[in-house]
Structure formats: C-alpha cells, structure tokens
Amino acid sequence: MKRSSTSHIFIMFIVVLFASTAIFAAEGDSLSVTEGSGLPGNGGYVFSVNLKNVTTIKGLYFTLHDSPDSLTVTNVATTARSANFRVSFTQVDGYLKVIMIPLDGVTTFLTAGDAAILNITTGVSADAVGGTKALLTIQDVVLADGTNGAVTSHQVDGNFWFGQKGDVVYNSVVDLFDVLRLIDIAISRPPAATEYERWAGDLDSNGYIDVVDIGEAIDRAVSVPAPPAVNQPLSLESNGYAEIQMPALPTNFTGKINIPVKVNTTVPVTGMQFEFNVDSKKYIIEQPELTEVSANMSIVSKRQGEKYKVLICGTAGQMLPAGELTVLNLSVNITSPLDQAEIIELKNVLAGTENASKIETNLSQDVSEVAHVPSSFALLQNSPNPFNMSTEITYDIPNINQQVSVKLQIFNMQGQLIRTLVNSKKAAGRYRVNWNGMDKLGHYVSSGVYFYKLSAGDVVLSKKMAVMK
C-alpha cells in the first residue's frame, strides 16, 4: 500500500496490549484478505479482511503489504460483524496504523464466526500494469482473546487484480475481443489461458470458464462500457481487413424496412460487434436478424437511449467465411417520412478472427446507395445458375404496413422438402439468401433440377434452379 508519494506502506491493526503468555487457538482460527480488483488510475475499490474463529476474539493486529506497491488506502471501516468496535488510523513512517477498540466496556466480543470484520477502500495507481495483479500479504498476525491473552492463528494472503471481470484481454472495457478470447479458452483453442485471463473470464466464479461465462461477457459487451483506465490498455495486432456497407434509408416512406449489413472480409470472421447511433424521432431499430450465412452464430442486441449495440459470435468456435457476406438484416421502423436519404450512423464496429485477433475495419456509408423499397412481392432467379457449391436467392417484400410471415424452401422434382432457408416475419425490403447446396441433414444434394418456393402471406412464388457437380 502507498500514500500518494511514498513507497511501501503496511496496514497494522492494534486493539489492545497483550499478555505475555501465549494461549493456543482452537483449530480453524485464521485471518484472511479477500480478493479485490480495480482499473488503474481509478479509486473507490473495496476489499475485506475476514476473521474465521472459534475462539472469542477481543482484538487483533496485523500488517498487510501489497506487491507491487500500487494501492493507496483511503479508508478503513468496520462491518456489520464488528459494528460495536471503533477504528482510527494514521500513517507513520510508511505504515498505516489502524486501531480498533470496543466502543464501550460492555461491547460484545467477536464470538465464533466466519465473516468480514473490516472493509478497506483503495485507489489504484495510474502506472499499475493492467492485466496483472498485486499480492496482498498478511504478516505479524496477533489475536487477543477475551482476557487479553495472545492467540495463535493462520493467515491467508489474497490478490488484487488490475483489471475487471470480463475484460479478458484487458483493453479497459468488455467488448467483442474478450468474448472471442473466452470462446477460445472454453474450447481449448491455443494459446493456453494466462492466470489473469482465467480470473477475468470466470464471471460466475465457479472455477472454470464455460458457456455461462461467455453469455455473461456478451451481455456486458453490449452494455454501456465502463470509464476507460488512465494508463494505456494493451493493443491488439490486426490480422486481416473488412469493409462494412449499409444502404441509406429511403425518402417518403413510413413503416418497417429491411436494411442489410454487408461485410467484405479478407479472412474468416469469428465475431463482430456493431454500435449504431439512432435518431429515435425518425426511426427505431428493432430486433436484428441473422442471415443464412450467419445463421449458426449467436446474436445479442441492446438499445440504450440513442445507441443500439449488436454482437454476433460463434460460441462454439464457428466462423463466417472470408468474402462478401450479408451478416445481418436490421428491421428499421421509420416513423416519420424522410425528406432526403439518410444513413444510420455506424459509430463503431469491431471484428475478430482466430485467436481473438483484430480485423481492421472500414465503414463505407454513402447516401447514393438507398435501401430498395419493393412495390410488389417478387422472387428473382438465383445466381449463379446452374451452380456447384453455392448460389444466392433474392426476393422482395413490399410495404404493406406490417411484417409478413415468410418461408423460403427448396424442393426436389418429386415435391419433397429438401431445406427451409427462411421461416420468420419480414419487413419490407430486398433480401438475399445463400444456399450452400446442402439438405436439412447437412448432406450435399445430387446434381439435378430443384424448385425454390417463396411463401409470403397469401402469395406463393416459385422458380427452378439446377445443381451441377
């Protein structure tokens, strides 16, 4: 521990003068310091001193040292268990001396129990190294029983982590890269987890990292980020490049419309995180949908005021292939007609690839490309046709002031259902769906002619396509 301009400071708790004759404690008497954590350059973090005793304790003292010297104590306070005791403390020659005495002559002593007796409030030095820890070492422990006799005890040291739960890669916020690193750890993808990563990633504190921790990290990533640390967070090296494109909102239109989010990436993608700025007086982003190409990913979204965050990732290690993809469809409800085409501001986007590596991203937003508002239902010819491994099917949903239940299905020449590509409600817009030539069991279909059928409300449209091996 340290003052604002000193080196190591120790914490000493002194209550009473002890008799010279030692009295051995009953088995189990111990003093321990609980785990703490905090971001460099910030304060107000609290950790506790815990007393586990079977002997009645009237007082105690000990020293507590942090290594490296990065913490500054701002307060020491009693807990509910020690509420009948008084604490005062002073700093002398690098020591923080704390005296804890009964409030009066009839104060109840600390009887058998196992709970915190003191809360220590501290700040973290701005030059502390994020993603590491300080060792909190208890020394020179002396306990006094009800007759002022000395009681021997055990002591248990603790850790103070320079970071926060969920911030696995330590960049001072919980975001996509923490989620991707957690996935790597959970599926044992190298490199092996560091000690800090194991601590920061164990969000439910059950001793290991699993899908529960991944889910919690995703939820935190789409929440408002914590204030950044004062010192420079760890930087992530870029591996690959991705360009993100979105069409502008159309003019003179009200109702729900589909806005595709397209990504052109040079490397496979393990996850993406988007943050949109929304003008809620004009339009609202509703629940986004995954596309055929991203259907095996997980998605979480959250609206907070004028911000809307979306995170997609493969919680079991799945990846989006490299190339040009439509990874999301945003359902946007335009409540007030726009006089001119307007883009939904994509304030920030993160993209990651293998080993939680960063993909460099570029936002391409131009009002010259406006979202298509179809005037009628349509099913376009797939492209390419004939095809071998993959083809794209495009269909239109017109503006009818409500979402429409849509099915897009593949049938063979005998009328047997091969695959359902879409089965959900859709807003107005043009949709593109990729079919990889597989049936519902994950097997590639044989060469031949197939039908694809669009069912939208009372409308049914169909076309033929050919598979060539």
- Per-residue pLDDT reduced to its tens digit, 29-75: 999 999 999 999 999 999 999 999 999 988 888 888 899 989 988 99
d(CA 12, CA 327): 58
pLDDT of residue 229: 47
Q: Where are the beta strands (DSSP E) in 84-175?
A: 85-92, 95-102, 113-124, 133-145, 150-151, 154-156, 158-162
Averaged pLDDT, 80-85: 92
What element of type H or E holds 350? strand 345-353
Structure token pair of residue 44: 């107000």
- Phi/psi zone of residue 13: left (φ > 0), alpha (ψ -120 to 50 degrees), beta? beta
Q: Evaluate if residue 179 carries a pLDDT over 80.
A: yes
pTM over 0.85: no
235 confidence band (pLDDT: 50, 70, 90): low
103 confidence band (pLDDT: 50, 70, 90): confident
Q: Evaluate if residue 226 carries a pLDDT over 80.
A: no
- In the block, tokens 């003008």 appear at 279
How many CA atoms within 13 Å lie on the side-chain side of 366? 6
Interval 362-382: pLDDT, tens: 988 777 889 988 989 999 999
Q: Evaluate if residue 454 carries a pLDDT over 70.
A: yes
Q: Which of 13-22, 211-220, 250-259 has the lowest mean pLDDT?
A: 13-22
Mean pLDDT of the chain: 87
pLDDT of residue 223: 86
Q: Evaluate if residue 159 carries a pLDDT over 80.
A: yes
Interval 311-332: pLDDT, tens: 999 998 999 999 999 999 998 9
Q: Evaluate the omega torsion of the peptide bond into residue 386 and state whether it is cis, within 30 degrees of 0.
A: yes
Find, among 128, 361, 85, the residue nearest to 242 by Cα. Answer: 361
pLDDT of residue 59: 85
Check if the beta carbon of residue 132 is closer than 8 Å to that of residue 1: no
Averaged pLDDT, 455-466: 95
d(CA 266, CA 239): 9
Interstrand relation of 323-334 and 255-265 (parallel, antiparallel or unpaired): antiparallel
Averaged pLDDT, 250-277: 93
Q: Evaluate if residue 224 carries a pLDDT over 80.
A: no
pLDDT of residue 266: 96
Find, among 401, 457, 431, 455, the residue nearest to 256 by Cα. Answer: 401
Averaged pLDDT, 86-105: 76
Residue 166, phi then psi, degrees to nearest 5 = 95, -25
Find, among 329, 337, 326, the residue nearest to 286 by Cα. Answer: 329
pLDDT of residue 11: 43
d(CA 43, CA 59): 29
pLDDT of residue 17: 38
Interval 380-406: pLDDT, tens: 999 999 999 899 999 999 987 778 999
Residue 227: C-alpha distances to residues 73, 134, 295 (Å): 21, 22, 34
Residue 268, phi then psi, degrees to nearest 5 = -60, 150
d(CA 334, CA 209): 42
